[in-house]
Amino acid sequence: MTMVNEEMTDKKDNTKNKEETTDNKPDPQAPKHSLRLKLRLGPCPKLKEVRLMVIGKSKRGKSSVANTVLGEDHFSVSSSFSQNIYSGWHQLTRDGRSIDITEMPTDLSSDEAARPLITITPGPHAIILCFRCEQFFTPEDYYAYTTLKKWLGSHFSKYVILAVSGLDNIAGDGAEDMVRNSFVPILRELPSPDRFICLDNTANWDSRRQQGDKLLRLVDQVANDNGGGHFSNRKIRSFEQEMQYQLGRGKTRAEIKRRVVDGDDLEHVFAKQCSSCVVS
Ligand SMILES: Nc1nc2c(ncn2[C@@H]2O[C@H](COP(=O)(O)OP(=O)(O)OP(=O)(O)O)[C@@H](O)[C@H]2O)c(=O)[nH]1
Ligand SMILES: [Mg+2]
């Protein structure tokens, strides 16, 4: 499998210009790349158009996180263990920027993955990897991360933000730091330990929108770290090629995506175009 990402500008060392605070005593058990490294993010350019892929195993809060980012309920949230099917793509404008979100369960077959991948074309600025925090970090979570890395390609790590939902269930001083520390095994594989957010998707909308804004600032940071580029791979590029063809026939990108989500025949046109591609 080949990862292709033409737009990304590699950063040799993303942590170079960031400052370390010394307000907490060092924990000798903690890995070097730990949460004691509190980073002061400078303001970075706000993306006018944001594309996000919200990905994770079943019931990890993907739809809830997507709604928190959108600031409104659009994705359907469910606690029942019904079939884990693709539930959507939504786009809206919030605070002057267009937000395009695709939800992607991890247990889709290659055929089923077509719809979410078409709706994320030309590629996500950030990949929001969803977990729950009630049990803190588990070996299963690490397995989910490494499996995705194999599936999407190793460049995927440069775009990942960990979004851990369920903060309301572990309330208490320092809860977020404890959760964050438990995720260090994944965080140390990412370009920066800042690629993390804990969320309470049960909070009121004022609070959820603030959490959504915080997540969007992280997305701006990820895009900035990647030279303003976005993630792509062979399959997404192939879908983008078909998208360009369809755009040339006078439809808008949003119209095409909507038709694909609604199960229009157009999905088969894309699938045919990409029938020989593996995911990454
Ligand atoms: N307590 C609590 N529950 C949450 C939180 N976020 C999500 N949930 C609940 O977790 C369950 C699953 O949430 P979803 O957002 O549907 O998760 P999902 O990953 O999209 O689920 P599927 O698409 O069905 O795989 C729902 O009952 C949500 O209400 C949170 O921050 N706190
Ligand atoms: Mg969902």
Cα(181)–Cα(185) distance, integer angstroms = 9
For a pocket test of ligand 1, which of 201, 204, 205, 207 has the largest count of ligand atoms closer than 8 A to its C-beta? 201
Angle between helix 266-273 and 234-247 (nearest 10): 130
Measured distance CA(155)–CA(262) in Å, rounded: 31
Domains of the chain as residue ranges with CATH: 49-225 (3.40.50.300), 234-273 (no CATH)
pLDDT band for position 41 (50/70/90)?
A: low
**Average pLDDT, stretch 79-95?**
75
Give the C-alpha separation, 279 to 233, whole Å.
Answer: 7
pLDDT confidence of residue 6: 31
Lowest mean pLDDT among 20-24, 85-89, 145-149: 20-24
Ligand 1, atom 3, lies closest to the CA of 166
Checking if the pLDDT of 54 tops 80, the result is: yes
Q: What is the mean pLDDT of the chain?
A: 81
pLDDT of residue 82: 57
Check if the beta carbon of residue 161 is closer than 8 Å to that of residue 215: yes
State the pLDDT confidence band at 166, using cuts at 50, 70 and 90. Answer: very high
**120-149: pLDDT as tens digits:** 999 999 999 999 998 788 888 899 899 999
- What's the gap in Å between 53 CA and the centre of ligand 2? 12
Nearest protein CA to atom 25 of ligand 1, as residue: 58
> Taking 80 as the threshold, does the pLDDT of residue 84 lie above it?
no
- Higher pLDDT: 86 or 215? It is 215
- Given a cut of 50, whether residue 169 has pLDDT beyond it is yes
State the distance from the centre of ligand 1 to the C-alpha of 64, rounded, in angstroms: 6
Range 112-122 average pLDDT = 91
Most confident residue range from 3-12, 19-28, 174-183, 220-229: 220-229
> Rounded CA gap, 106 and 110, in Å?
11
- Cα of 62 vs centre of ligand 1, distance in Å, is 7
Q: Three-state DSSP class for 160?
A: strand
Q: What is the pLDDT of residues 233-253, one digit of tens each?
A: 998 999 999 999 999 998 899
Least confident among 81-90, 106-115, 144-153, 183-192: 81-90
Q: Enumerate the H helices of 153-233 as residue ranges.
A: 175-182, 184-187, 205-225
Ligand 1, atom 7: closest residue by C-alpha: 61
Cβ < 6 A, ligand 1 pocket: 56, 58-64, 77-79, 84, 87, 105, 165-166, 168-169, 199-202
